[in-house]
Amino acid sequence: MHIALVAPECVPFSKTGGLADVVGALPHALARLGHQVSVYLPRYRQTKLTDPEIVVRSITVPYDDRYRFCSVVSGGTQSGAQFYFVDYPAFFDRDALYGTPAGDYPDNAERFAMFSRAVLEASKVLRVPHVFHCHDWQSALVPVMLRTLYAEDPAFRDVGCTFTIHNMGYQGLFPSEILPLLMLPWDLFTMSKMEFFGQVNFLKGALVYSDFITTVSKKYSQEIQTSEYGFGLEGVLRARAATVTGILNGVDYEEWSPEKDKFIAAKYSPEDLSGKAQCKADLLTAFGVTDTNPKIPVVGIVSRFAAQKGFDLITQIMDRLAREDMIVVALGAGDKEYEEMFVRLNRQFPQKIAVKVAYNNELAHKIEAGSDMFLMPSRYEPCGLNQIYSLKYGTVPVVRATGGLDDTIEPWDARTGRGTGFKFTDYNGEALLSTIRQALLAYRDQTSWQVLMRNGMAKDFSWNASAKEYVRVYERVRQLRAANAA
Ligand code: ADP
Ligand code: GLC
């Protein structure tokens, strides 16, 4: 089967979060299963291509009363997948992917509408896939256009489209006037299609027009059908419940494993954990923490700083947390509000919380390896990758029981010696504090703590199983299309 992934970011070409890791790894897993895979991405300033070759010189994209012309360059093949980039410097050659800390770029609707239309047009030149697999709101217009503007196009008659929701919190909301400017039919602006409280909602369009919808964990696929987690789209999802499913993200253990990691001070494995102490010392040095007892547990954080991630809970309890024997090491960037919050905490409790406001992949690896615990108190978490990485590094996750965090972490039970981490359910500081205290208490018994570490290290969340589940979805989509066409 030929599958075309359409996504706004992908490792190693562009990244703001876990979506990039997923889109970077899934194509290779699909190729290993014997499928042909193309990946369509925007060509951003941060996209580094060694030998770019123009493969489609000019694609006409109408906007308002004029035409824009973009091109598509090939980034070559990697592990069996072919990478294509939509090139339009005025839109994509910018400092950031979607916006600055001050807010989103004002022309995001135009940018990603162009991207989506260019993918459809380019595929007709390069090769029409059996199934498009689109990711998040930035590619949501692919299914919309496929079933409206391009519905009569013979090239796409049998082509299926599946859509993966990585985060319901980002929907692509724009003023209704954008529809005619993008040359999209005005009748999309109804409640049963893309209208959403007076605005146009790109994600809603994808949920209406895709043949199948997936999200990145089983638990999240259920949560988003409730008003607590659906961000207003729970009704649309419930209406499509028969074609909604959760497929847990895999991770790439070539990149994220203490036995192979090229960024860490010493490699280690479940059989020989001794290198971890060196990683811990190296991490503390990197964060300028020098006068501490190596026996004191280190709690790591690596995250986008956003409301989703639940860090407001830390402020609620930090004065009491500061009295515990532990040190927090946090790396993150994002919303100004949370960046400032962490800087403030560091100023208030310099002995207890070390902070770097930055995006730094090497430090992210050092934190995974050098911490004893990893904290993710998320308000919601579609899948979450860092807790899965943590398991492999013997860094015990302390998480809120939501979405993929709940699906991947099993509570530690010292009596049976089973479990991989610690979790709490109620979204409040007290619940977080008592769970951290439980973990700190467990840490004191180093013999059973090592059992806990090894339980996590033995877990396998590699892509193989999830890629097979995606293939089943693609097959289902093709059957649905065939039934439709008949
Ligand atoms: P999300 O996609 O919601 O941000 P995930 O847990 O799925 O959360 O993925 C986050 C990914 O981004 C991980 O690979 C993590 O290491 C990386 N990451 C997040 N913040 C930073 C940062 N400040 N520096 C380096 N890597 C980061
Ligand atoms: C999103 C989610 C995160 C998930 C990632 C990859 O950004 O916030 O939970 O792991 O996408 O699917």
Q: Which contiguous run of DSSP H or E holds residue 277?
A: helix 275-286
Domain 2-250+464-485: give its CATH code.
3.40.50.2000
* CA 77 vs CA 22, 48, 322, 349, 368: distances in Å: 17, 14, 50, 49, 30
The reply to whether ligand 1 has any atom less than 6 angstroms from the CB of 360 is yes
Q: Which ligand is nearest to the CA of 255?
A: 1
pLDDT at 15: 95
pTM for the whole structure = 0.96
Q: Which residues contact 323 (CB under 8 A, 6 or more apart)?
A: none
Nearest 5°: CA angle at 368, between 281 and 404? 155
Q: Rounded to the nearest whole angstrom, what is the distance from the C-alpha of residue 49 to the centroid of ligand 1?
A: 23
3-state SS, residue 111: helix
- Written as six digits, the tokens of 416 are 């049976």
pLDDT at 31: 97
Please report, for the chain, the start and end positions of each structural domain, with discontinuous segments joined by +.
2-250+464-485, 275-460
The reply to whether ligand 1 has any atom less than 6 angstroms from the CB of 80 is no
| Furthest-apart CA atoms within the chain: distance in Å | 73
Beta bridge partners of 302: 331
Domain 275-460: give its CATH code.
3.40.50.2000
Within 96-217, where are the H helices?
A: 108-126, 141-147, 178-181, 202-209
pLDDT at 96: 94
pLDDT at 291: 75
The reply to whether ligand 1 has any atom less than 6 angstroms from the CB of 304 is yes
Q: Rounded to the nearest whole angstrom, what is the distance from the C-alpha of residue 98 to the centroid of ligand 2?
A: 16
Q: Give the neighbor-by-neighbor strand order of the sheet with 212-215.
A: 53-63, 66-78, 81-87, 36-42, 2-6, 131-135, 160-165, 212-215, 244-246
In order along its 486 residues, the chain shows pLDDT tens digits of: 999 999 999 999 999 999 999 999 999 999 999 999 999 999 999 999 999 999 999 999 999 999 999 999 999 999 899 999 999 999 999 999 999 877 899 999 999 999 999 999 999 999 999 999 999 999 999 999 999 999 999 999 999 999 999 999 999 999 999 999 999 999 999 999 999 999 999 999 999 999 999 999 999 999 999 999 999 999 999 999 999 999 999 999 999 999 999 999 999 999 999 999 999 999 999 999 987 788 999 999 999 999 999 999 999 999 999 999 999 999 999 889 999 999 999 999 998 999 999 999 999 999 999 999 999 999 999 999 999 999 999 999 999 999 999 999 999 999 999 999 999 999 999 999 999 999 999 999 999 999 999 999 999 999 999 999 999 999 999 999 998 877
Same fold, 2-250+464-485 and 275-460: yes
* Torsion over CA: 49, 53, 58, 60 (sign): negative
Nearest 5°: CA angle at 226, between 224 and 228? 90
pLDDT at 333: 93
